[in-house]
Amino acid sequence: MSETAGRPKRPFVLCLTGSLAMGKSTAARFFADEGVPVHDSDAVVHALYEGEAVAAIEQAFPGTISGGMVDRTKLAARVLNDAEALARLEAIVHPLVGAARDKFLAEQAARGAAVVVLDIPLLFEAGLERCCDAVVVVSASAELQRRRVFERPGMTEEKFAAILAKQTPDAEKRRRADFIVDSSYDFEHARTQVRDILRAVAKMQLRQP
C-alpha cells in the first residue's frame, strides 16, 4: 500500500510575493475574494509578537517589549542595519511561522481545498520557493513603488534603502515567477489578473506529491 494512502490530497500551493509597496496585500485580498484560503505570514508574525515569541525576543533583544508585546519600532531599530541581530531574530521567528504554515496546509488539505495561497514577503530570500507549485510576483515600476513607499508614515530614505538591500531585486523576482500581477493599473485590472491566474492554475499539476 502507498505511504500516502488515506491521506487527503494536498492543495495546489500558490506562493505570493512582491517587494515593498508593490501591492502584494491587495493581490492577496483578491485571491481571498475568489474563495481561495490565504495564509498571511505577516499576520502570523504580528500574532507571534503579541504572544508566543515575546519571551524569546525579550531575552534576545532586551528593552524591545512594551505592554507585554513586541514594540515593532524598537525591534526594527535594533535589527535594521545589523545582519547578526537580524539573523538572531529570524532564528526565533521563522520556525514558528513555518509551523503555522504547515498547520494551515494540513487543515486546508483536510477540508479539501483545491488551491491555497501562501503570502510570503521574503519567499526568495528565505529559500521557500521549494514549498510552492507556482509563484506569483506582484510588481510595478520603481517610480510607482517609490511613490507608494513615501506615502507611508515614518518612511525615510535610509529605511527604504535598508529594506531594499535585504530584498531580492524586483527584476530577479519577475524572472523567477510563474505568474506576474502588474499592480500599476487600477484594482479591477489586478483582480482580472488574479482570476486569470486561478484559471491557469486549475489546469496545472502539483510539482511534488
pLDDT in tens, 77-101: 899 888 899 999 999 999 999 999 9
Question: Do 160 and 9 form a contact (C-beta atoms < 8 A)?
Answer: no
Are residues 183 and 171 both part of a single domain?
yes
- DSSP secondary structure code for residue 52 in this structure: T
- DSSP secondary structure code for residue 206 in this structure: P
Confidence of residue 4 (pLDDT cuts 50, 70, 90): very low
Sign of the C-alpha dihedral computed for residues 126, 173, 77 and 55 taken in this order: negative
What pLDDT sits at residue 162?
86
Are residues 25 and 128 both part of a single domain?
yes
Residue 3 inside a domain? The answer is no
Count of domains observed in the chain: 2
CATH number at residue 187: 3.40.50.300
Residue pLDDT, tens place only, 20-68: 999 999 999 999 999 999 999 999 999 999 999 999 999 999 999 999 9
Give CA–CA dist 209/196, Å, rounded: 25
Within 10 Å of residue 4's Cβ, how many Cβ atoms? 10
What pLDDT sits at residue 3?
43
Question: Do 106 and 10 form a contact (C-beta atoms < 8 A)?
Answer: no
Q: Domain span at residue 57?
A: 41-112
Q: For residue 140, what are the contacts with CB-CB under 8 A and spacing of at least 6? A: 22, 23, 148, 182, 183, 184
Are residues 49 and 142 both part of a single domain?
no
Question: Do 105 and 13 form a contact (C-beta atoms < 8 A)?
Answer: yes
Strand, coil or helix: 66? strand
What pLDDT sits at residue 1?
36
- Across the chain, what does the average pLDDT equal? 93
What pLDDT sits at residue 53?
96
Residue 4 inside a domain? The answer is no
